[in-house]
Structure 1
Amino acid sequence: MTEPAGIDEKTTQEERRPTALEQMGGVSGLIYSSVPIAVFIVCNALFGLQAGIWSALGSAVVILVVRLVRKEPVQPAISGLFGVAIAAFIAYRTGSAKGFFLFGIWTSLVYGSVFVLSILVRWPLVGVIWNAVNGTGTDWRRDKPSRLGYDLATLALAAVFAARFVVQRWLYDSDHTGWLAFAKIAMGYPLYALALLVVVWAVRRSDKRLKTLREARAAEEADTEAALRLKYDRRPNEA
């Protein structure tokens, strides 16, 4: 009696998917993402640009090692290390501390433009990505309320990228490096969390609608099949 329960429990654990927060690195990821930026600003102010660059790179590597040792998801750390490496290279080439933030500024513009474009071509990226990952096909595009929800979710993410670009670009042009670092941290995960609320709403709304539509379609097909079977079953009796 206990064996099936154990198997069911194991199956449930294996089928459990990580939450969106876990995929972004969990609560620790919110902290880790800001460490290289803070280290860069402090070391640059105290010891100069070169020290700031190498310290930021070193902190990103340490974060990756810590995640490996603690067996935490390493994808956010690898992405973070890659981003810090590019930012550090740009700062080194420009010879300016604010160059450390230039890659992120223009990346926000590119991402925001792609998200807006996906809405204009009627393939909102949130819907495309979510349903592709879950293998649920493209039924959501034929349901107008579902597509509208995904449009709003995609627009919310586009607004996040647009806000980051506008604010950080202004701070960059104004040479407010300290505030630029603050804006990069404050407009990172906190803004994503707000947009994620819209994403979760759109996903749940669409999944619920599609499930209802599939059940209604299945019931209609079952009724049609039953009616046809009854019709053919009556023919011999009528003859």
Structure 2
Amino acid sequence: MNDPTRPDSAHAGAAAETDADQAAAETEAAAEAVPDRAAHDTVEEAVRTQLTKALGGARGVVEAAIPTIGFTVSWIVTKELRLSLGIGAGLALVLLAVRLAQRSTVQFVLNSIFGIGIAALFALRSGKAEDAFLPGILYNAGYAAAMLVSIVVRWPLVGFIIGSVTGDPTAWHRDREIVRLCSRLTWLLLIPCLVRVAVQYPLYLAGHVAWLGAAKVVMGWPLQVAALAAMAWLLARGRTPMDRSTPAPGA
């Protein structure tokens, strides 16, 4: 039975409990809104995490490579353009089906399917197998040019990864050490693109499809993994504090 002599204390207790629940909910919501800001103490840690997300981890890297490897190996063995394109597309669709069955993200498989589709359009339009490699060469050339310009103007592309973590896309640029670090990291992403273009474009012009296919396999994900390993080594050496003085969006 309720004590009629203590109504105020009962209401006060209920109100306090409600306020505590509301405060806890607000704290949890705030934590969910800016998880990366609380999760990273250094710039290096933030960049490592964001690069892993962007590439989809080890599985995303492998899924992006398998259809291309399938097409390249098939062409080297059979010299059949349509068959090779079909094998590459088929492998991509199998990977997509696995992702859907596991109810996991299909982003990186879709990227791979898109790449195979563009390659097929180029190759089928001209009837030349080497044209399947032209979109990749153009992509690497364009990406390398964009990264080089970003380094020259001292707004290295990797810096914006830090901006996505801190909540301010440009605050990182005020710290010379962070700019220097991001320039080095951007160079490590740029170099594989330059190497691919320097090797593959002359092979494309000469029509050496077998050598071009082999070069694409060797300089695809293995070269990217090597670049990421170099980045991981560079990032592991530094302990640049993450600047959280910039308020989060909406704060």
- Tell me if TM exceeds 0.5: yes
The 1:107/1:52 distance shift into structure 2, 3 A limit, reads same
Q: Secondary structure at the match of 1:155?
A: helix
Deviates more, 1:110-119 or 1:146-155: 146-155
Question: Which segment drifts farther, 78-87 or 173-182?
Answer: 173-182
- State whether structure 2 residue 122 is matched by structure 1 residue 90: yes
Q: 2:72 aligns with which of 41, 44, 65?
A: 41
On the 8 A contact 2:185/2:231 being kept in 1, the answer is yes
Task: Classify 1:81/1:134 alpha carbon distance in 2 versus 1 (closer, same or farther; 3 Å).
Answer: farther
CA shift, 1:46, in A, is 2.7
The Cα shift of 1:179 comes to 2.6
Is the counterpart of residue 24 in structure 1 residue 63 in structure 2?
Answer: no
Partner of 1:50: 82
CA distance in 2, matches of 1:116, 1:41: 29
* Alignment length (residue pairs): 203
Between the aligned partners of 2:110 and 2:79, the Cα distance in structure 1 is: 27
| SS in structure 1 of the partner of residue 158 of structure 2 | helix
Q: Take 1:143 and 1:29, find their aligned partners in 2: how far apart are those partners? A: 32
Alignment of 1:2-151 (within 5 A): 15=35, 20-21=51-52, 23-44=54-75, 45-46=77-78, 48-151=80-183
Higher helix share: 1
- Residue type matched to 2:131 in 1? G
Letter of the 2:56 partner, please give it: G
> Deviation of residue 109 (structure 1)?
0.2
Match of 1:5 in 2: none
Aligned to 1:234: none
Give the secondary structure class of the aligned counterpart of 1:34: helix
- Equivalents in 1 of 2:73, 2:230: separation in Å? 35
Quote the offset at 1:177 in angstroms.
1.8
Of 183, 186, 189, the match for 2:218: 186
**Alpha-carbon shift at residue 61 of structure 1 (Å):** 1.7
Question: CA offsets, 1:25-73, max 9 Å, x none?
Answer: 3333343333322332344443722222223222222221112212333
Counterpart contact for 1:53–1:92, Cα < 8 Å: no
> Deviation at 1:197?
4.2
Q: What is residue 249 of structure 2 aligned with on the other side?
A: none
Q: 1:204 to 1:72 in 2, by over 3 A?
A: farther
SS at match of 1:151: helix
1:208 to 2:237 alignment: no
2-structure distance, mates of 1:174, 1:142 = 47
Confirm or deny: 8 A CA contact 2:73 2:213 kept in the other structure: no
> Sequence identity of aligned pairs in percent?
32
| C-alpha RMSD of matched pairs (Å) | 3.1
What's the CA shift for 1:172? 1.6
Q: Which amino acid aligns with 1:65?
A: A
Q: Is residue 64–residue 74 contact of structure 1 (8 Å, CA) maintained in 2?
A: yes
Amino acid at match of 1:37: T
Aligned 8 A contact 2:63 2:108 in 1: no
Shift, 1:123, TM fit: 1.0
Q: State whether residues 35 and 59 of structure 1, in contact with CA within 8 Å, keep that contact through their aligned partners in structure 2.
A: yes
Aligned-partner Cα distance in 1 for 2:125–2:165: 39
Question: Given the two structures, how large is their TM-score scaled by the length of structure 2?
Answer: 0.68
Residue 114 and residue 143 in structure 1: after superposition, are their counterparts in 2 closer, same or farther (change >3 A)? Answer: same
Cα separation, 1, equivalents of 2:219 and 2:173: 31
Is the contact made by 1:150 and 1:202 (CA closer than 8 Å) also made in structure 2?
Answer: no
- In structure 2, do the counterparts of structure 1 residues 118 and 188 end up closer, same or farther at CA, with 3 Å as the change threshold? same
After superposition, the Cα gap between the structure-2 partners of 1:82 and 1:133, relative to the gap in structure 1 and judged at 3 Å, is farther
Deviates more, 1:26-35 or 1:72-81: 26-35
Which stretch shifts more, 24-33 or 99-108? 24-33
Contact kept in structure 2, 1:119 and 1:151, CA below 8 Å: yes
